[in-house]
Amino acid sequence: MKMAKAPEPMTSGSIWKKMVFFALPILLGNLFQQMYNTVDSLIVGNFLGSSALAAVSSSGSLIFMLIGFLSGIASGAGVIVARRFGAGDREGLHKAVHTTVALGIVSGILMTVVGVLLSPQILRWMDTPESVMPGSVAYLQIYFCGSLGFVMYNIFVGILQAVGDSRHPLYYLIVSSVVNLVLDIVFIGFVKTGVGGAALATVISQMVSAFLCLLQMVRSKEIYRLELKRIAFDGEMLKEIIRIGLPSGVQNSIIAFANVVVQSNINAFGEMAMAGYGAYTKVEGFGFLPITSFTMALTTFVGQNLGAKQYDRTRKGAKFGILVTVVLAELIGIVVFIFAPQMIAAFDATPEVIAFGIDKSRTAALFYCLLAYSHAIAAVMRGAGKAMVPMVVMMAFWCVVRVTFLSITVPLTHSIQMVYWVYPLTWALSALTFFYYYKKANWMSRI
């Protein structure tokens, strides 16, 4: 049997080719990842109606709040793995891989307990309408029962992408996405399990992809091979992972908490607003996949090249990545702005739901370039191990300013427009701050 070609470091060759061809499998992988919840929403909205779609949509911010923290920690681990791989440090790479996996196992177990126990109370804090509360609780508790699969999949993918392997995660996501689609149709369309069936389908399919990633790492002959008996915490490596990953994890959770506050404001406008807003978030999620994929490639590129002490190459790659990210985001925003009616209607054909979704789409879409710029600069900084700066900037604007703005304007105006406009406003503030820091502080030249 022919062995798969080992991933090539990003420390030599054409910068744009390395980044683009690394980002493409990530894009396709993220596309299938996004399909998990989107397929749930499409099938739930069309089979079970607007109330069930509202129940699933209201759960998204809470899920990201808990998973986002661990994803941030995993991104810190990915930076360390990329640097060790770029430097050719075999022993350091082994410690980073096995400590990261151990951390994922413990975290997944803790998330299961916390998510299942606290879901009902947090949904009440979010002012979730009683009409959708049973469905929301069922969806969340089943979802969090599969936390270990979600966490370990993200851990494994982070390691594989850090060493330049973006192909195998794509293959496994294709498999699990097909599993998810089939199970959604069976559970919801034939077995009639309601929104809980959508969550169960997602859990099973994510477990499949995590298991396939595990097999790939265990069977690999490369220096990042996972040896089950070596899974344990290395104290110094754990400290380094937490030092780089904790700011990203805290940032993700705090921003997600702010989004929970946003969702609670949306909930106050009723089920139709919840369903319309939820449909828009799925559209935005798909639209922003190329940006997310490219910023992930950017972090890996910076991490590997700094590990190899390729400083000039790092700066050139950062400039290229930022430019491509911003231009691509604005083109996507224009498409979303124009085709919003058709995109929202795919999730729910109810005219009131479509109206809410279009309104939100056309408020935010043309400002995607600002959001993309912030993510690109943050990606470069994380690859360089400077995760504190993005954390402070994004927490300040995407959390403190966002929550303060809503707390003042919504009670005064009773207008959902305030909820829509808070995003472009805070994207602009963070982009301006990052622009000043990147240009004036000139931190890249001091690496």
How far apart CA 406 and CA 188 sit, in angstroms, is 36
Whether 12 maps to a domain, the answer reads no
Q: Which residues contact 70 (CB under 8 A, 6 or more apart)?
A: 104, 107, 108, 111, 151, 154, 249
Task: Compute the average pLDDT of residues 108-137.
Answer: 78
Residue 36: per-residue pLDDT: 61
Buried/exposed code over 156-178 (b: 16+ C-beta within 10 A; e: otherwise): bbbbbbbbbbbbbbbbbbbebbe
pLDDT band at 52 (very low <50, low <70, confident <90, very high): low
pLDDT band at 370 (very low <50, low <70, confident <90, very high): very high
- Are residues 237 and 73 in contact, defined by beta-carbon separation less than 8 angstroms? no
**What are the backbone angles phi and psi of residue 238, rounded to the nearest 5°?**
-60, -40
Residue 279: per-residue pLDDT: 85
How far apart CA 218 and CA 203 sit, in angstroms, is 23
Residue 65: per-residue pLDDT: 66
Percent of the chain with pLDDT over 70: 87
Whether 11 maps to a domain, the answer reads no
Q: Report how far apart, in Å, the C-alpha atoms of 97 and of each of 18, 77, 173, 218 are.
A: 23, 8, 21, 12
Per-residue pLDDT of 317-352, as tens digits, reads: 988 999 999 999 999 999 999 999 999 988 778 889
Residue 211: per-residue pLDDT: 94
Which segment, 29-38, 134-143, 204-213, is predicted with the most confidence on average?
A: 204-213
Please determine, for residue 214, whether its predicted confidence score (pLDDT) is greater than 90: yes
Burial of 55 (0-12, 13-18, 19+ CB in 10 A): buried
Range of the domain at 98: 21-439
Long-range contacts of 387-392 (CB under 8 A, 24+ apart): 387/76, 387/244, 387/245, 387/246, 387/247, 387/248, 387/251, 388/247, 389/437, 390/247, 390/248, 390/251, 391/247, 391/248, 391/250, 391/251
Number of domains in the chain: 1
Residue 54: per-residue pLDDT: 64
- Are residues 146 and 207 in contact, defined by beta-carbon separation less than 8 angstroms? yes
Residue 1: per-residue pLDDT: 36
Please determine, for residue 208, whether its predicted confidence score (pLDDT) is greater than 50: yes
Weakest-pLDDT range from 107-116, 187-196, 211-220? 187-196
Which segment, 128-132, 205-209, 239-243, is predicted with the most confidence on average?
A: 205-209
Residue 3: per-residue pLDDT: 42
Residue 446: per-residue pLDDT: 52
Type of residue numbered 222: E
Give the SS3 label for residue 100. helix
Whether 6 maps to a domain, the answer reads no
Weakest-pLDDT range from 120-129, 215-224, 302-311, 312-321? 120-129
Please determine, for residue 353, whether its predicted confidence score (pLDDT) is greater than 80: yes
Mean pLDDT of all residues belonging to the chain:
82
Weakest-pLDDT range from 154-163, 346-355, 436-445? 436-445
pLDDT band at 184 (very low <50, low <70, confident <90, very high): confident
Please determine, for residue 166, whether its predicted confidence score (pLDDT) is greater than 70: yes
How far apart CA 380 and CA 391 sit, in angstroms, is 13
Whether 444 maps to a domain, the answer reads no
Task: Compute the average pLDDT of residues 118-133.
Answer: 73
Whether 15 maps to a domain, the answer reads no
Whether 26 maps to a domain, the answer reads yes
* Length of the chain measured in residues: 447
Per-residue pLDDT of 387-432, as tens digits, reads: 788 888 988 998 889 889 998 998 898 889 998 999 999 999 999 9
pLDDT band at 48 (very low <50, low <70, confident <90, very high): low
Residue 199: per-residue pLDDT: 80
- Are residues 369 and 333 in contact, defined by beta-carbon separation less than 8 angstroms? yes
Whether 148 maps to a domain, the answer reads yes
Task: Compute the average pLDDT of residues 298-320.
Answer: 86
Whether 16 maps to a domain, the answer reads no
The token duo for 429 is 């503030």
